[in-house]
Chain A
């Protein structure tokens, strides 16, 4: 560099170089700090993942009320239907009617013993002579006959496993113990449970997802809570989707932008997005579960067995909770539509409504959907407001509509973690994995939609 080029700047060459080193060093320090921040985030995330996965897999000992090897000479899977039913008849004759009720009954449980067989087993195979008899008029052998005629081999084998063998997880170890202390675990298992089976077990499995709530960790499943979550999400979408988009369209496209009232409304919506969720829960309890009980309990359409603590109340509460987020995101998406497109539409003689529906909305819908999905994934993980609104911690029947009692996955997790039996820690970990999988699914849907629509613009 020639001298005259820097002659206007009163800095000596050596000073300049020293100064440059110092400036480069400052940059380097900050770069390292940012990197450390990244590393700590990763460490925390890994710790969480470790904690969950550690609980969801590992060795367990199954013990049995009746050892399957002593039950019959051949394995259960090789027995025929009559042979299996015979086992039921021998081992648990008094449970046969319960099995019949749980597997084949076509009438409500409370009239099971009062209705004639023709009604109870409508459409099933049975001896026509029994049509006018009642369940308690039949002998055990006749009931066994009906079971054997109507159920498949797998179904009866499953019933035998539940009713006779009754596998039960007596002890469990987490993943790290299972991997590091295998010989020790084998020794303990052989000592304490000579007749038990030691197996490496994944607590997340298909049975876990499809089994209903149970007080026994071995049989406990997530179905009731998953259905509750899905029903509530349906209500959330139906309630908050149209209102949120409509409000955003009004605020962005119609409301006078510099008016004081619009600004106050927008500021308030932004503040509402930050209100703690428990407060929405209290609002939901007061308004949806109490004041509007006549509607949320379904009494206005003739449902009588509920109070206001239903799927509908919970869904409306969560819908209210994510409404501000939906409005803000939708408004941002509308704002991002280039004004040149609006001009083009107006320039062709479009009315405001035609411009909004023909140009603005189609170009913003990707962003709007992304915002809604992200808001939904927030709602799925909410616990506090639903406890306040009145989620049940234990319900025996699946929610089947807006007027059902409900529980949801996060509450189920909370409930399991607070149980004294150690095995429920494992089911909780498994439920967390299912919940996270659900959230990842929603987030990938959001990313997919964003990419798909942003390519078109």
Chain B
């Protein structure tokens, strides 16, 4: 694929992605584009594979033993699942923020500097600069600037999550994946994260998994609704897998969805 053919608007495109755990299918045939500098939200009922698809984007599924991904994820013209792509390289450009705030039990400074140090940056002045800009970028600088030596674990839940976001942007990724980043936070902390996402959007592409329909509606530009399919011939939980039911702009998906299933879900009739 040549440079000219790369769609500059689309940063990642999933093509017919299916995920298996051992031999069991978890997500089937997902295709969707992620647009640059936009916020794309994944919504859907529990067990529909939102998080699994999110983890496809930075090859975090590789860490789960027995997980297997089929299909293609084209990032800047290159398939992330090409055999000669190193997942470590992928994760450096596609960062991730997790459901539960997970700062390292180190100082705030060392939390942020961890990523740059992985890349081999040792110069103190450079690290100082990265720490400051990252904390500013995550709207945390004013709260912690006098106390960078303090343990990251001493912060409140919302601050911890913003610390994790700062830690992610410290290595300047292109895309930030967020896996239900607000599910462990109170409404005020949630609101700050949402505001922060809108600020980050100017520099980064964001993909967020959320259970909170209002959050998806408020904070995203595009929305992917995942649903569950069942094999009625098999009894038990093994017969369920996730599919992408609808992908649309958030405005359209919440006001006039194409699928009846989506309409039922967002109006609270199931899920």
Q: What sequence of 0s and 1s flags, for each residue 360-398 of chain A, a beta carbon within 8 Å of any chain B beta carbon?
A: 001100000000000000000000000000000000000
Which residues of B are found within 8 Å of A359, using beta-carbon distances?
Answer: 104
Question: Min CB distance, B76 to chain A, in Å?
Answer: 16
Which residues of B are found within 8 Å of A242, using beta-carbon distances?
Answer: none
Report whether B88 and A351 are in contact in the complex, using a CB–CB cutoff of 8 Å. Answer: yes
Most buried by A among B97, B114, B117, B153: B114
Question: Min CB distance, A301 to chain B, in Å?
Answer: 40
A348-B65 in contact given A343-B98, A358-B118, A456-B151 (Cβ < 8 Å): no
Which residues of A are found within 8 Å of B92, using beta-carbon distances?
Answer: 348-349
A340-B65 in contact given A348-B167, A349-B91, A351-B88 (Cβ < 8 Å): no
Q: What sequence of 0s and 1s flags, for each residue 40-63 of chain B, a beta carbon within 8 Å of any chain A beta carbon?
A: 000000000000000000101001
Residues of B within 8 A of A (CB): 58, 60, 63, 65, 88-89, 91-93, 95-98, 100, 102-106, 114-115, 117-119, 151, 153, 164, 167-168, 171
Interchain Cβ contacts under 8 Å between A and B, 26 examples: A258-B65, A338-B102, A340-B98, A341-B105, A343-B98, A345-B104, A346-B63, A347-B58, A347-B96, A347-B168, A348-B91, A348-B95, A348-B114, A348-B115, A348-B171, A349-B89, A349-B93, A349-B119, A349-B171, A350-B88, A351-B118, A354-B118, A358-B117, A362-B105, A363-B105, A456-B105
Report whether A344 and B91 are in contact in the complex, using a CB–CB cutoff of 8 Å. Answer: no
Report whether B105 and A340 are in contact in the complex, using a CB–CB cutoff of 8 Å. Answer: no
Report whether B105 and A350 are in contact in the complex, using a CB–CB cutoff of 8 Å. Answer: no
The answer for the CA separation of A411 and B250 in the assembled complex, in Å, is: 79
Question: Min CB distance, A79 to chain B, in Å?
Answer: 63
Question: Min CB distance, B243 to chain A, in Å?
Answer: 26
Q: A344-B164, A344-B167, A349-B91 are in contact. List 8 more A-B contacts (CB 8 A).
A: A340-B100, A340-B102, A347-B91, A348-B171, A349-B115, A351-B118, A354-B118, A358-B118
Report whether A457 and B105 are in contact in the complex, using a CB–CB cutoff of 8 Å. Answer: yes
Which residues of A are found within 8 Å of B63, using beta-carbon distances?
Answer: 342-343, 346
For residue A216, CB closer than 8 A to chain B, the reply is no
Of chain B, the residue at the smallest CB distance from A342 is: B63
Which residues of B are found within 8 Å of A347, using beta-carbon distances?
Answer: 58, 60, 91, 95-98, 168
For residue A257, CB closer than 8 A to chain B, the reply is yes
User: Which A residues, 215 to 267, have Cβ-Cβ distances below 8 Å to chain B?
Assistant: 256-258
Which residues of A are found within 8 Å of B167, using beta-carbon distances?
Answer: 344, 348
Report whether B98 and A344 are in contact in the complex, using a CB–CB cutoff of 8 Å. Answer: yes
The answer for the CA separation of A457 and B171 in the assembled complex, in Å, is: 25
Out of A256, A257, A343, A351, name the residue touching B102 (CB < 8 Å). A343
Out of A346, A350, A363, name the residue touching B60 (CB < 8 Å). A346
User: Which A residues, 429 to 457, have Cβ-Cβ distances below 8 Å to chain B?
Assistant: 456-457
The answer for the CA separation of A338 and B106 in the assembled complex, in Å, is: 14
Please count the residue pairs between chain A and chain B whose beta carbons lie under 8 angstroms apart in the complex: 70
Which residues of A are found within 8 Å of B153, using beta-carbon distances?
Answer: 457
Which residues of A are found within 8 Å of B95, using beta-carbon distances?
Answer: 347-349
The answer for the CA separation of A343 and B60 in the assembled complex, in Å, is: 8
Which residues of A are found within 8 Å of B97, using beta-carbon distances?
Answer: 347
The answer for the CA separation of A456 and B63 in the assembled complex, in Å, is: 26
Out of A338, A343, A349, name the residue touching B118 (CB < 8 Å). A349
Which residues of B are found within 8 Å of A358, using beta-carbon distances?
Answer: 114, 117-118
The answer for the CA separation of A260 and B253 in the assembled complex, in Å, is: 49
Of chain A, the residue at the smallest CB distance from B87 is: A346
Question: Min CB distance, B24 to chain A, in Å?
Answer: 15
Of chain B, the residue at the smallest CB distance from A359 is: B104
Which residues of B are found within 8 Å of A363, using beta-carbon distances?
Answer: 105
Which residues of A are found within 8 Å of B96, using beta-carbon distances?
Answer: 343, 347
Which residues of B are found within 8 Å of A258, using beta-carbon distances?
Answer: 65
Of chain A, the residue at the smallest CB distance from B100 is: A340
Question: Min CB distance, A378 to chain B, in Å?
Answer: 30
Question: Min CB distance, A346 to chain B, in Å?
Answer: 6
Report whether B118 and A256 are in contact in the complex, using a CB–CB cutoff of 8 Å. Answer: no
Report whether A349 and B88 are in contact in the complex, using a CB–CB cutoff of 8 Å. Answer: yes
The answer for the CA separation of A456 and B58 in the assembled complex, in Å, is: 30
Question: Min CB distance, A333 to chain B, in Å?
Answer: 14
